[in-house]
Amino acid sequence: MTANTLLSIGMITKESLAILENSLTFTKQVNREYDSEFGNKSAQIGDTVSVRKPPRYTVGTTPAFSAQGTVESAVPVTLNKQYNTGISFSTKNLTLDINDFSKTTFLDAQIAALANQIDYDGMQLYKDVYQAVGTAGTTPSAISTFLNAGVKLDNAAAPNDNMRAAIVNPAAQAAVVGGALTYFNPSQAIADQYLNGTMGRAAGFKWSMDQNVGVQTIGTFAAAASGAGTAVTVTTAVASGTASVVTGGWTSGDLLNVGDIVTFAGVYSVNPQNRQSTGQLQQFVLTATPTAASGGGAMTIAISPTPQFSGAYQNVTSSTGTIAAGAVLTVYGASATSTPQNLVFHRDAFTFATKELDLPMGPNTYAYRVKSKKLNLSLRCIWFYDGFSDNQNMRFDILGGWATLRPELACRVLG
């Protein structure tokens, strides 16, 4: 390998990493602390670690001592995606100045596509989030909608430590910025909103726009599942630790989708610290697409969170200590509505874990790797030459995987 080739691949890889840093949005706002869990050697696709979630305890109020067992739960994080993009260019293009080179389709478009795919996969984690505010099919424009999302996070005891973020789609950004200009006192913040069309930091969140915001298509169902008329109800009472709910009263063929949100009458969320009711119905998300309602109107759904009516991990309360038989089910949103899923969340709601890939070498094959101090993310570049076409082939790779760590620290804002 010549010195010029080393210089070219190094400069191009570093320039590509700079483009990647600027292109990522959602990924910048999530927990990035678990890369070291994958060992000292380069991990291979499929490697998994279990990230422990903090235990919870109850508090006694008498002198009597009562030992509590420590129940640890964990979330698997798997490096199951090798994000890559490849380009081919003639050797004469290497004579371009690196600044000109980065402005061509050789880098900008390819690295932007890589960043968008990573962000897109991350934002699909909205399907794990069961808290939601807003109206399906209506772009949120009032800052109060996002403040209500903040209330959801507060009720879930999310830390208020300047690590909360709001990621919205272009339509929501335009609507909120236009409607919020008069609500903020700091002159620089108002100037940024006016001049740049962005929110910056407001209402307790660091705001960003991402066109990769997910879109949920709510299942198709008759009016009964809206909580009005002849209601859909729970057939068999659901006790603590049960995530499967048998329901009845559907119209034959009705079908919900994974990611849909439902509530049950009389089942309220609790603050995880004091286990007192928040006064708000607990929202549950479907973790799988169920079988369509039978001719008799029955449908069994799998929900998250798994209801816990007592103990250190209590998350819901009801007068019966169950999701009672006969409790009315209501789907959040109108039948068959497609609606963007803007997200507000604390950093620890999600994680993106990565590991450095090996640097293969061989005839006419060269590899280079750089790591972003800002993102703690490694980008690998491999060159391999085709003498028949006098083309230099180049690929970029990032090994990583997404996981939802604590869905209670996030809330959807429907659009």
How far, in whole angstroms, is CA 19 from its chain's centroid? 22
Q: Are residues 274 and 376 in the same domain?
A: no
Count: domains in the chain: 2
Same domain, 321 and 386: no
Burial class (CB in 10 A: 0-12, 13-18, 19+), 274: exposed
What would the pLDDT profile of 312-321 be if each residue is shown by its tens digit? 889 999 999 9
Give the separation between CA 392 and CA 89, rounded to whole angstroms: 5
Tell me the CA distances in angstroms from 120 to 218, 287, 346, one per residue in order: 19, 19, 18
Token readout for 259 is 């990611």
Domain, as residue range, for 273:
219-336
Q: Is residue 151 part of a domain?
A: no
Residue pLDDT, tens place only, 399-411? 999 999 999 999 9
49 with 88, same domain: the answer is yes
Q: Are residues 244 and 275 in the same domain?
A: yes
Compute the distance between CA of residue 181 and CA of residue 156 in angstroms, rounded to an integer.
29
Q: What is the mean pLDDT of the chain?
A: 84
In this structure, are 370 and 324 located in the same domain?
A: no
pLDDT surpasses 70 at 96:
no
For residues 153-174, average pLDDT: 94
Same domain, 227 and 324: yes
Residues 12 and 78 in one domain: yes
pLDDT at site 21: 83
* Residue pair 327/234 in contact by the 8 Å Cβ criterion: yes
In eight-state DSSP terms, residue 249 is -
Q: Contact 329/225 with Cβ under 8 angstroms?
A: yes
Note whether residue 68 is domain-resident. no
- Write out pLDDT tens, residues 165-201: 999 999 999 898 776 655 544 555 545 544 444 467 7
Structure tokens at 287: 């973790």
Do 295 and 234 sit in the same domain of this protein?
yes
DSSP for 357-415 reads PP---BTTEEEEEEEETTTTEEEEEEEEEETTTTEEEEEEEEEEEEEES-GGGEEEEE-
Query: Which pLDDT score is estimated for 351?
Result: 93
Whole-number pLDDT of residue 93: 64
- What is the rounded distance in angstroms from the CA atom of residue 110 to the CA atom of residue 129? 31
Evaluate whether residue 136 is within a structural domain: no
Please say if the pLDDT value at position 42 is more than 60.
no
Domain end (from 308, 336, 364): 336
Query: Do 233 and 330 fall within a single domain?
Result: yes
Q: Is the pLDDT of residue 303 over 90?
A: yes
Residue 130 lies in a domain: no
Question: The domain spanning residue 328 has which CATH number?
Answer: 2.40.30
pLDDT digits (tens, 9 = 90+) for 346-377: 999 999 988 888 888 777 788 888 888 888 88
Of residues 19 and 226, more confidence is placed in 19
Please check whether residues 323 and 371 belong to one and the same domain: no
**∠ CA(291), CA(315), CA(216), 5° rounding?**
40
Verify that 259 and 371 share a domain, yes or no: no
Check residues 194 and 66 and name the one with the higher pLDDT.
Answer: 66
> Is residue 294 one of the residues assigned to a domain?
yes
Does residue 234 have a pLDDT over 90? yes
Q: What pLDDT, on a 0 to 100 scale, did the predictor assign at position 45? A: 46
Please indicate, yes or no, if residue 286 is contained in any of the structural domains: yes
Of the two residues 52 and 273, the one the predictor is more confident about is 273
> Rounded to an integer, what distance in angstroms lies between the CA atom of residue 117 and that of residue 306?
31
Q: Residue 206: inside a domain, yes or no?
A: no
Q: What is the pTM of this model?
A: 0.86
> Do 294 and 324 share a domain, yes or no?
yes
How many beta carbons lie within 10 A of that of residue 230, not counting itself? Answer: 11
What's the residue count for the chain? 415
Task: Give a yes or no: residue 342 inside a domain.
Answer: no
For residues 284 and 297, give the distance between their C-alpha atoms in angstroms, rounded to a whole number.
Answer: 21
